[in-house]
Structure 1
Amino acid sequence: MTDTSYYVILNANAGTANATGVTPEALFELFSRNGLKATIDADSDRPLSDRINDAMASDASTIVAAGGDGTITALAATLVGAEKSLAILPLGTVNALAKDLHVPLDLPSAVAALATGVEQRIDVGEVNGRMFLHKVVIGLIPGMAAGREHIRGRQDASAKIGFMRYFFRRLARARRLAVVIEPNEGVRRVERVQAIAVASNSYDEGLGQFFSRQSLDRGTLTLYVLHHLTTRDFFRLTASMLLGRWKSDEALTVESVKAITINVRKPMVQVMFDGEVEMLHTPLEFKIRPLALSVIVPAASVAGTVAGAAA
């Protein structure tokens, strides 16, 4: 792929980028060292939407999100159905999609992997016309995530201890939420839940795996309903995830669907949208967009997927 041109949108404020001080000059040098032609947009003072529009208007065949999951999701939403492909340089804190696609998490290796990368098409979730790559969560979890924002970027022990106190205090006081769940194929029902999530494809069980997906092209959504979450439930679920058998936990039910509508008795609801906390209008209408996004992944990850499927 050495004849491919790349347009890189660098979010210098993303977790890893901010911590390591990645510069556009260093990034350009990494591309050049691997024989890759790149345009680097590092102007984080401009609206991201304007920067994405410039990238889409360029001659580059691949647009690179050099940032965290928020940057990746925003860029992917524009690339759905387009002829250009998405590539990822994981510079965020979580880097969920990069891990699912087996993109190296260190910057030099991630750029080097682009030189031999191959195109792969993946599914994209949609809620109320907006695209998501991981999951949308309502209920207790978004409130917890909002509290996390107060310590973003802080590494001191006092901040982490303060957040843990906040977390367990919220957990002890949490009330269940009444939701109306209406799958495209199934019975409409009302449930009282602590949290509910809709994910693009499904998270796999495995020793030490936390919310990782081996396949992003199954063409389904997965509904996760957390009926209750006490402190005891939290520690049990965490241990179950470490041991790779969390889907059978008594507090949780899992359901595969093609489309689903979720409603609450409010005109808007707080959600965690691919890791970012925001408000969405209700009802929440979900569907899957099969193979709607072209991504560039390391050739070795595709070979591993094929080998695993044949085994």
Structure 2
Amino acid sequence: MTQRRFYLVLNVNSGTVQALGVTSDTLRAMFAAHGLEVTIDADPDTQLPDRIQKAIDSDADTIIAAGGDGTVTALATAIIHSDKNLAILPLGTANLLARDLGVPLDLDEAVEALRDMEPLAIDVSEVNGTIFLHKAVIGVIPELAAGREYIRGQGVGAKIGFVRYFFRRISRARRLALEIATGDGSTRIERVQAIAVASNPYDEGLGRFFHRDKLDTGLLTIYVLRHLRIGDVFKLAMGMLAGHWRDYDALDISTAHSVTIRSKKPRLQLMIDGEVQSLEAPLQFRIYPRALSVLAPLQAVKQEIADEQSEAAGAEEQPA
């Protein structure tokens, strides 16, 4: 097998990168120790879009996102329009896509695993032209996320203040009136505390927080949370720990190939793959099946092939 050519984009501003003391020198040494060649861009003075374009223009066949979910999504947005593969070194707080793919969360193990990974085609979603790989959330959740970002890196006093803000904001949160229209022609009005549109469904299971086994169903999954009081926060958290959160009575789950969300508000605040943004309404969601090639551990690729073969066999057995 021809050795891959890696081009790594390091987000030096990532809290995890700074906490671990990760530098281009430490990464270069890790790659060399595992017999891998890599070009590393750790330039803090150049804007990320320019760094990404430089990576796309390189002769590398695989672009590595070394950072959190925001860095991964930014690189994926450019890669889907190229012939490159995306790879992930999980150096963020949540590392959601890396967890879904089964990428090792230990940095040295993740570098070593790159040698034996294979391309896997996964779905990509967008809202009003903005790409996301995991989910976009509307309602009280983005406001809480913005508060979390504000206190990041600050002391214990700020964190205690955020906890107070969290419970105060939850107790005073007002519901949003939204019109939800799906591509099949159905329309409904919902009053919600939060609504999430996810690229593929989340799975249940003991301790499985926001994990997806399937990344190529070609379906958006819509999670409508009709109320979120203090008691609901604890019930949902306990349900997730126990692995049966889907049966929560305030939560409605549906799927669609496309979704349009309308509001009386001219703009809505969203949390898109962990990044808070404000977008003009209406919000138009769509999904692009298997639009992104991402390196995954061989076990995940083999499972995907087995699933495809099983689906094909099932289709052949259907009566004409």
Return the TM-score normalized by structure 2: 0.93
Task: Supply the AA of the counterpart residue of 2:75.
Answer: L
Corresponding residue of 2:121:
121
Is 1:26 aligned with 2:26?
A: yes
Determine the C-alpha separation between the residues in 1 that align with 2:302 and 2:30.
25
Counterpart code for 2:106: D
Identity %: 56
Provide the C-alpha distance between the structure 2 equivalents of 1:307 and 1:43, rounded to a whole number of angstroms.
41
Q: Which residue of 2 aligns with 1:253?
A: 252
Within 2, Cα distance between the matches of 1:308 and 1:290? Answer: 16
Tell whether the 8 Å contact from 2:119 to 2:301 is kept in structure 1 after alignment.
no
| CA distance in 1 between partners of 2:232 and 2:67 (Å) | 34
The number of residues matched between the two structures is 309
Counterpart position of 1:244: 243
Equivalent position of 1:135 in the other structure:
135
TM-score by length of 1: 0.96
1:85 equivalenced with 2:85 (yes/no) = yes
Letter in 2 for 1:124: V
Structure 2 counterpart of 1:190, which letter? I
Whole-angstrom CA distance in 2 between matches of 1:288 and 1:140: 24
Q: CA offsets per residue over residues 81-109 of structure 1, 9 Å max, x none?
A: 42100000011111111111111111110
Task: Report how far residue 36 of structure 1 moved.
Answer: 1.3
- Does the 8 A contact of 1:2 with 1:115 survive in 2? no
SS of the residue 2:116 aligns to: coil
Tell me the equivalent position of 1:263. Answer: 262
- Superposed CA deviations along residues 194-230 of structure 1, whole A, max 9, x for unmatched, are 0111000011011111111111011100000000011
1:97-135 CA distances to partner (integer Å, 9 max, x unpaired)?
A: 111111111111011000111110000011112210011
Q: Is the 8 A contact 1:10 1:44 kept in 2?
A: no
2:123 partner letter: D
AA partner of residue 117 (structure 2):
G
Kindly provide the amino acid, as one letter, of the partner of residue 222 in structure 2: L
- Name the Cα RMSD after superposition: 1.5
SS state of the match for residue 221, structure 2? strand
Q: Which residue of 2 aligns with 1:107?
A: 107
SS at match of 2:178: strand
1:289 aligns to what?
Answer: 288
Contact 1:208 1:241 in 2 (8 A): yes
Mind listing any 5+ residue stretches in structure 1 that lack a counterpart? none
**AA in 1 matched with 2:47:** P
Q: How far did residue 263 of structure 1 move?
A: 1.1
Residue 2 to residue 21, structure 1, CA distance change in 2 (3 Å): farther
Tell whether the 8 Å contact from 1:259 to 1:287 is kept in structure 2 after alignment: yes
* Residue correspondence of structure 1 range 155-194 to structure 2 within 5 A: 156-194=155-193
In the alignment, what sits opposite 1:272? 271
Deviations 1:148-185 (A, max 9, x none): 0122134x543332211110000011000011110111
Shift in Å at residue 307 of structure 1? 6.8
Q: Is the 8 A contact 2:183 2:256 kept in 1?
A: yes
Shift, 1:233, TM fit: 1.0
Between the aligned partners of 1:83 and 1:286, the Cα distance in structure 2 is: 25
Q: Structure 2: where are the runs of 5+ without partners?
A: 311-320
Secondary structure of the residue aligned to 2:261 is strand
- Preserved contact between residue 2 and residue 36 of structure 1 (Cα < 8 Å): no
Within-5 A mapping of 1:191-202: 191-202=190-201
Q: Give yes or no for contact 2:124–2:131 (8 Å, CA) kept in 1.
A: yes
- Post-superposition Cα deviations, 1:248-274, rounded to whole Å, max 9, x if no partner, equal 101100001110100111221111011
* Amino acid corresponding to residue 271 of structure 1 in structure 2: L
